[in-house]
Amino acid sequence: MIALLALFAAPPALAIPREDVLDNAALYASHVWESRSINQYAECTDGDYESDYPPGDYVGVPYDWGGYVTLGEFDDQLDDGYGAGSHSWHGVLSCTTGVDCSGFISMAWETDHYSTSTFADGPTSEITWSQVKRGDAVNDAGSHVVLFTHETDAGWPVFYEAAGGAEKVRLNATGGWSYVDGYQPIRFDDITDGPSTGTESRPRDITAFPYSDFRWTAGAASDRIDTYACAPDTNESGPEVLYRFQAATAGTLEVVVSDDVGADVDVHVLTAPDGAACLERADESLSVEVEPGEVWIAVDTWVGSQEFPGSFILSATFDGELGALEDTEDTGTPEDTGAPADTGAPDEDPADVGGARDAPRANRLVAPEEPKGCGCATTPASAPLGLLGLLGLLALGRRRRT
């Protein structure tokens, strides 16, 4: 009998690294999609619905009251004529698509859909502000929930969120601590610290060229190189992402970094993970001759009147031959952040949802049979720092400094 019960028991939950959580969030914030005429109206309503997204191209999955979908499902539903996004006053509609605040957090954590009110009864535990790490959430039950990425050197918080109104999944770097006044920090029970990549002890290894990587310095695990010998007067004290490869022969390395609106990151080529070992640096692109040996690339955050972290695309080519990389000692882990002062307020009431967290991670990214609702705050349009996304970065190539 015990063996029979075990056969039908739910499989154990699989842990998700913090880095994967932020990867998931970035994908939703940078997702490029097209709103068409068939997405302006919702067939399951009495005609009182009209999408806030006129025909055109957008970046960031739209806010949809009760929404909880994978990116693939979102694209398919747009093709099937679902309405693009919805508001709380529309109710939970079966013919609109997107994600709401709790649906977005649930997707980032790769768990079943919970509301801001039912997170506490499901897969999370309350933590203190001094314990908050990247990938944790900050929740106001019955109102809104955001995903914490990091705190800047100036003490300013940066969040990912699916905001109400006519907003989309976005990176909010301007709300400040007052934005989450009265919110409760929570931690997904199945999240793990783990060693994050992009650090000296665990760099992002390049094993083939041409190479391209979409990443972000907002919330990056490494923040130890502040200046570089090739530009000692340039302040690079923000977080950085470190890459490396092994050059078996001499050759020309060409690197281009395209960053997001509101972000300002620079690229540096090094012979070691140290600012003193800098060969060449640039705001956007560079070409440098490298000798055989280990070569490092640092994409670092420029700091002027403030810190400018954000998403970027790194593209690189090398015309020499590659060798085998040696393993690095795995020692890096994310650090705790400081505590904010609480000063905000709730906005809307949710429709409660439930769910279990015992599905394997491979099965978590499946939408429920019925859409669920949650309460998510509506915020002013001036608050967010939006992402351009992959296509926007490549097409616009916007830079701030020369």
- The pLDDT of residue 161 is 96
User: In a structure prediction context, what are the per-residue pLDDT tens digits for the chain, which is 402 residues long?
Assistant: 333 333 333 334 578 988 889 889 988 988 889 999 999 999 898 878 999 999 999 989 999 999 999 999 999 999 999 999 998 888 899 999 999 999 999 999 999 999 999 999 989 999 999 999 989 999 999 999 999 988 876 788 889 999 876 789 998 878 899 999 999 999 999 999 866 789 999 999 999 999 988 788 877 889 999 999 999 999 999 999 999 999 999 999 999 999 877 789 999 999 999 999 999 999 999 999 999 999 999 999 999 988 998 878 899 999 999 999 987 654 433 333 333 322 222 333 333 332 222 222 232 222 222 233 355 544 333 233 333 333 333 333 333 443
The burial class, CB within 10 Å (0-12 / 13-18 / 19+), for 300 is buried
pLDDT at 59: 87
Q: Report the pLDDT value the prediction gives residue 179, as an integer from 0 to 100.
A: 95
Task: Determine phi and psi for 29, rounding to 5 degrees.
Answer: -75, -25
pLDDT of residue 376: 53
pLDDT at 219 (0 to 100): 72
Give the pLDDT score at 195: 64
Between the CA of residue 92 and those of 52, 96, 153, 187, 306, what are the distances in Å?
A: 16, 9, 40, 27, 41
Q: Pick from 23, 58, 20, 34: which is nearest to 214 by CA?
A: 23
Residue 196, SS3? coil
Distance, C-alpha 30 to centroid of its chain: 8
Domains for the chain: give ranges and CATH numbers. Answer: 9-192+338-396 (no CATH), 208-318 (2.60.120.380)
Task: Give residue 208's Cα distance to chain centre.
Answer: 25
pLDDT given at position 359: 29
Per the DSSP assignment, residues forming a β-bridge with 150 are 158
Backbone angles phi, psi at 22, to 5 degrees: -70, -30
Confidence at residue 148, expressed as pLDDT on a 0 to 100 scale: 95
**Residue 313 and residue 241: Cα distance in Å, rounded?**
12
- What pLDDT score does 26 carry? 84
